[in-house]
Amino acid sequence: MSLQAVTLSIAFSEISNPNYADGIGYSTTTGVVDEERIVVECSSGGREENIQHTYGDSLKLTKLLTAMLVLKAYKRSNASYKTFCKFKTIGIQRIKRTLTLFILFTDEEKKLVVEEKRSANVPICFDELSDFMQVFELIAYLQVLVLEQEQVDKMLRSEHTGITDVGNEEIISKAFADCKLGFEVDLNATEPELAGQQ
């Protein structure tokens, strides 16, 4: 697979922060720190939300998840594209007291898909103790998701190395040969336009 096939051109507005992620989770299935699996962004303090910071972190989270997916496509370029569609990158964003679990993957039409899977409010007082149930559900779902992705990665590795025959299925390098992953953000957009409120 050529580098041009996985070139990622993303234009971000001035509110996007090019700094590092607030947290990164790595795969350790090989016994060493292997590849990024989870990205965490903490966007605002507990009292009030900084909208500009939240927008920037949302864009940064999407950019990082996309880069992780593109890197996986590049590393496993001889694997089946159908198997690659099962691979999901995982993001968690905290805005004030709310944790949100996202996944990003490609579909059969070679489009990027972002899905919100779980959301939970973190309790801060005794009266909100029952809110921990949502937090625990989010963590349990995250654990299941990570284990599923480890299995998908094993399949991709096996297909890429030729241990598992992909037969006549389209491989990743051919699927993306004429495709460019990317999106653009209007650099002159105002706050309501970025939020989708015209």
Write the pLDDT tens digit of every residue in 25-65: 776 665 555 677 888 888 877 677 778 888 888 888 999 89
Could you report the per-residue pLDDT of 130-154, keeping only the tens digit for each? Answer: 999 999 999 999 999 999 999 999 9
Tokens 């992780």 map to which residue?
68
Q: Which residues span the domain enclosing 87?
A: 3-194
Number of domains in the chain: 1
190: buried, middle or exposed (CB in 10 Å: 19+, 13-18, 0-12)? exposed
- Rounded Cα gap, residues 150 and 86, in angstroms: 11
pLDDT value, residue 196: 45
pLDDT value, residue 187: 44
